[in-house]
């Protein structure tokens, strides 16, 4: 009985302990953040690495998500004779939900795993210890710039994703399915609110950027210095980030509605 209880509760307690450790790590990183800003070269390098290098996958995914949305929604709206609202529904879906959430999931898979693997290997090959020995705080030089880069890059990537999604939706809806171009844009611009829809989506992007970057850096930083340790940490980054993004999305949506 005791063994069964231990088997049930131990993973839960381990998970809670991990959340606690991530919190402490976050606190340490916040303290190191001002010193992290004294390494602008590293910050720009990281923005390039997590932002610019994620552009292709974000653009292609955005395009296809917009195209699929257009097809599915056209079919659904045509049942009710409301195909003129296609542009509005695509835009609202992208700005409010799909843009931030899908971009964050892609960001976790592309940039998050790369950050974890890189930081984990830096730990395994004593590069972090070498920095400590050169009187350079790795929290300021390694963790903070990567966290900040995620925070800066995510809202921009979401904006690009949304733009490509709208383009894809327009391509299918107007060029292929024959919706009127003027109706598509005018309905969209009159029903989409910049502050309620676009900006709220960007707040979500900011929160997801912080969350994914924190998880990725923490997992790399605390990875055991072995090949298996780094591999497991990379997997944990994707799993934890995905769950955390979806859970946080629900909370944020409830607050921002």
Partner 1 sequence: MPESTTNRSDPAVPMVQVRSLTTVLGGKVIFDSLDLEIARGSISAIMGPSGTGKTTLLKHITGQLHGDSGTVLVDGQDVARLGREDLFRLRERVGYLFQNSALLSDYDVFENVAFPLRAHTKLPEDLIRNIVLMKLQAVGLRGASRLMPSELSGGMARRVALARAIVFDPMLILYDEPFVGLDPIALNQVLKLIRTLNRELGITSVLVAHEFAAIREVADVVHLIAGGKRVASGTPSELARGDSPWTAQFFGGALEGPVPFQYPAPPLADDFGFEEQRA
Binding site for partner 1 (CB under 8 A): 39, 41, 121-122, 125-127, 129-130, 132-137, 141
Of the candidates 122, 137, 130, 141, the one whose C-alpha atom is nearest the C-alpha of residue 40 is 141
Cα 192 to Cα 151: distance, rounded to the nearest angstrom = 25
Q: Which whole-number Å values give the CA distances from 189 to 74, 87, 88, in the listed order?
A: 18, 9, 8
* Cβ nearer to partner 1, comparing 14 with 126: 126
- Least Cβ distance, residue 136 to partner 1 (angstroms): 5
* Cβ nearer to partner 1, comparing 125 with 189: 125
- Least Cβ distance, residue 135 to partner 1 (angstroms): 4
Alpha helix positions (H), 142-195: 144-170, 181-191
* Cβ nearer to partner 1, comparing 2 with 41: 41
CA 22 to the chain's CA centroid: 17
* Cβ nearer to partner 1, comparing 49 with 218: 49
Cα 105 to Cα 207: distance, rounded to the nearest angstrom = 13
- Least Cβ distance, residue 216 to partner 1 (angstroms): 16
- Least Cβ distance, residue 124 to partner 1 (angstroms): 10
């Amino acid at each position: 009985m005791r063994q069964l209880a231990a088997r049930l509760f131990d993973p839960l307690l381990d998970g809670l302990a991990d959340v606690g450790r991530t919190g402490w790590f976050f606190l340490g990183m916040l303290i190191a953040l001002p010193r992290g800003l004294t390494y602008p070269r590293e910050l720009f390098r990281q923005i390039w690495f997590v932002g610019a290098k994620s552009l292709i996958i974000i653009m292609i995914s955005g395009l296809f998500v917009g195209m699929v949305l257009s097809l599915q929604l056209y079919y659904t709206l045509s049942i009710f004779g409301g195909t003129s609202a296609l542009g509005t529904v695509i835009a609202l879906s992208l700005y409010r939900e799909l843009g931030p959430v899908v971009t964050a999931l892609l960001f976790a898979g592309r940039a998050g795993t790369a950050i974890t693997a890189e930081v984990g290997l830096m730990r395994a090959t004593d590069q972090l210890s070498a920095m400590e020995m050169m009187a350079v705080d790795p929290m300021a030089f390694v963790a903070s710039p990567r966290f900040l880069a995620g925070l800066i890059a995510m809202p921009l990537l979401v904006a690009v994703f949304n733009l490509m999604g709208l383009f894809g939706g327009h391509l299918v809806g107007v060029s292929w399915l024959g919706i009127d171009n003027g109706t598509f844009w005018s309905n969209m611009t009159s029903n989409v609110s910049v502050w309620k829809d676009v900006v709220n989506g960007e707040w979500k992007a900011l929160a997801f950027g912080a969350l994914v970057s924190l998880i990725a850096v923490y997992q790399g930083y605390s990875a055991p210095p072995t090949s298996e340790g780094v591999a497991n940490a990379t997997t944990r980054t994707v799993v934890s980030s995905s769950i955390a993004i979806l859970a946080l999305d629900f909370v944020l949506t409830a607050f921002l509605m």
